[in-house]
Amino acid sequence: MRLLWAALVLAQWTETRFPHVLPNGGEKTKKWILETTGSGIAVFDYDNDGLPDVFFVAGDGAPSRLYRNLGGTKFADGPAFPRVGWGQGACAGDLDNDGFTDLIVTYWGEPSIYFNQRGRSFREQRLPQKGTRYNSGCALLDYDRDGDLDLFIANYLEFDFATTPPPGANPYCFYRGLPVNCGPRGLPFARNALYRNDGKGRFTDVSAASRIAEPDQNYALTPIVTDADNDGWPDIYVACDQTPSLLYLNRRDGTFSEEGLLRGVALDENGRALSGMGVTAGDYDRDGHIDIFRTNFSDERVTLYRNRGDGAYEESTAAARLGLQTRYVGWGTALLDFDNDGWLDLIQVNGHVFPESGAYRQRALAYRNESGRFRAAEAPELPHSSRGLAVADFDNDGSLEVVVNHQNEAPSIWKNKAAGNWLRVVAPIGARVRVTAGGIMRVDEVRAGGSYLSQHDTRLHFGLGKATKVERLEVRWPDGQVDTIPVAGVNREVRVANAPSLPRGGSR
């Protein structure tokens, strides 16, 4: 099957479209908030052929779709996923440690866990939940360091078709004088959930015991796992809509403490809660610490939080020359080195929640990182009402592509061509990787979950600029041990995942 090629060729990006429109509520008007929030993407190599495949989540009306990567940014239909419902987010990882990547899809309703049947098909199992939850983003992490991937699921709010007021019913159901779907304000809060894996893909709800469920005044959308305080244990940041965002710090005893406010990532620098939608993490200023970037609603600045390295953050949006564009509602996002110059660039997709607003479809934004300051760069010009975004080098040519899930339109892939050298590192989820080349150290983490209800390719991509040699590749494994790995050259993939021959501890 060939992709439908759009007649849009840009210097940096070429946009093409996947063949299927994935439904997500009304196109002219939306009666319920449930129609506005979907949906995400998960990039993962389900058949272990070395090419990242892509899964797009659909809203009610049609099943979600997995496309198998044939190479050269050509895709074919992959295994079918028959469930139809209000799909929201997706994340992927090897849940049962069988060497094949499994998939989690969140819904308004019980999440589906799809166990990968050796790259040929998927077996669905529902994750039991009390009541009908509005599950939003998911993320995988080994929070207890027992060697398997546990599951965090954000919960947006309490939604019920029977009790949610119709558009225009109360002051929370208007936008600039227009009656629109109600919420999130005015709708009840919900709590986030954590499920512990027994190593065989069987999950136990530990939300209360782990204290994940304690915060109860947040409209949670997208989680991202990062080691915020540099202690070697995975922490969880959650972008929240219209309420303070959350930072769950791992206390290394099976519990978390929520410290977003004190750590400086809950609010903007004026102490206001913004409408957080998407989130990404990366070392944008190359100081060795992982920073956090969050997309927000229109008329609000995006928010860049610089990690000070001591477990605290400070907002650096203005200092990094971001936040001047406030017209768009931001969703999926990534800090990615799309020009391979060694600095993490930035991309975000946009789209209004209300078709009635007259600005439903909005352009994407791209920024080139110039020594820690961002400058607007070319982005695909076609406006969409986009939601999920994920990044991968789909054709393994050393340049990163972007896939985007839109509302009421076929998903897009933005092909990119970058000069500059690069290194791709395949490491387990939760690993932190440091690459030094040309005397400059770059750092990244392998994450399952982020962007907006989505997951990027877990293979880490490092732009190296003109460097022709990798001086050092250091991996901190999920259990905290650190290894250095020899690298023969640049413009290649280094697989350090599943490397039982490598003894743990110390350099070699």
Partner 1 sequence: MNWTEDDEVDSADWIWCWMTLAISLLIVAQALEDGIAQFRRGEFESARKSLSTVQPSPLRDVFLAISEVNTGHCADAEPKLRVRYEVPELRRLAGSALLQCLTLLGRMEEALPLAEKLGREFPRDPDVLYQSARLHMQAFNDTVARLFEHAPASYRVNQLSGEILDVQARPAEAAQEYRKAIAKNPAAINLHYRLGRALLVTGQFDEARREFETELKRNPEDALAEFQIAQIDAAQQKPTAAEHYERALQLRPGFVEAMVALARLRPASAIELLEEAVKLAPAHESARYGLMVAYRNAGRLADAQTQKAELDRLRKPPEGEFTEFLKRLGEPSKP
Least Cβ distance, residue 180 to partner 1 (angstroms): 15
Interface positions with partner 1 (CB under 8 A)? 176-177, 217, 244, 261-262, 264, 267, 269-272, 308, 312, 314, 318-319, 321, 323-327
SS (H, E, C) 121-171: EEEEEECCCCCCCEEEEEEEECCCCCCCCEEEEEECCCCCCCCCCCCCCCH
Residue 446 CA to residue 433 CA, distance in Å, equals 8
Nearer to partner 1, 2 or 272 (CB): 272
> How near is the Cβ of 505 to partner 1 at its closest, in Å?
34
Tell me the DSSP string of 281-319: EE-TT-SSS-EEEE---TTS--EEEEE-SSS-EEE-TTT
Q: Which residues are registered as beta bridge partners of 489? A: none
In the bound state with partner 1, the residue whose beta carbon lies nearer, of 270 and 501, is: 270
> In degrees rounded to 5, what are phi and psi of residue 357?
-70, -20
Query: Considering the complex, what minimum distance in angstroms separates the CB of residue 394 from partner 1?
Result: 35
Of 145 and 373, the one with the shorter C-beta distance to partner 1 is: 373
Q: Which residue type is seen at 46?
A: Y
172 by DSSP, 3-state: which?
A: helix
- Strands 421-426 and 178-179 turn out to be unpaired
Burial 203-227 (b: 16+ CB within 10 A, else e): bebbbeebbbbbbeebbbbbbbbbb
Q: Which is nearer to partner 1, 312 or 499 (CB)?
A: 312
Q: How far is the CB of 318 from partner 1 (least distance, A)?
A: 6
Residue number with CB closer to partner 1 (47 or 315): 315
Helix (H) or strand (E) holding 262: helix 260-263
Report the nearest approach of partner 1 to the CB of residue 239 (Å). 18
Q: Least distance to partner 1 from the beta carbon of 312, Å?
A: 6
Pairing of strands 386-392, 482-484: unpaired
Closer residue to partner 1 (CB): 244 or 465: 244
Least spacing, CB of residue 270 vs partner 1, in Å: 5
- In this complex, which beta carbon is closest to partner 1, that of residue 318 or of residue 419? 318
Residue by residue, DSSP assigns 52-90 as: -EEEE---TTS--EEEEEEETTEEEE-S-----S-EEEE
Nearest residue (CB) to partner 1, 115 versus 189: 189
Nearest-approach distance from CB 244 to partner 1, in angstroms: 8
The nearest distance, CB 177 to partner 1, in angstroms, is: 8
Shortest Cβ 275–partner 1 spacing (Å): 16
The Cα–Cα gap between 246 and 244 comes to: 6
Task: Provide the minimum distance between the beta carbon of 251 and partner 1 in the complex, in angstroms, as a whole number.
Answer: 17
Cα dihedral value 15, 16, 21, 24, nearest 10: -20
Edge-first strand listing for the sheet containing 345-350: 330-336, 345-350, 365-370, 373-377
Note whether 223 and 139 are within 8 A (CB). yes
Report, in Å, the least distance between residue 237 CB and partner 1: 17
Alpha-carbon distance 42 to 46, whole Å?
A: 11
Joined together, the tokens standing for residue 376 give 């607007």
Nearer to partner 1, 260 or 332 (CB): 260
Identity of the residue, 270 or 371, whose beta carbon is nearer to partner 1 in the bound complex? 270
What single letter denotes the amino acid at residue 184? P
Q: Is 82 exposed, middle or buried, given 0-12, 13-18 or 19+ CB atoms closer than 10 A?
A: exposed
Query: At its nearest, how many Å lie between partner 1 and the CB of residue 507?
Result: 34
325 or 491: whose CB is closer to partner 1? 325
Nearer of residues 26 and 186 to partner 1, judged by Cβ: 186
> Which residue in this structure is represented by tokens 């403490």?
257
Q: Cβ-count burial of 291 within 10 angstroms (0-12 exposed, 13-18 middle, 19+ buried)? A: buried
| Residue among 34 and 292 whose Cβ is closer to partner 1 | 292
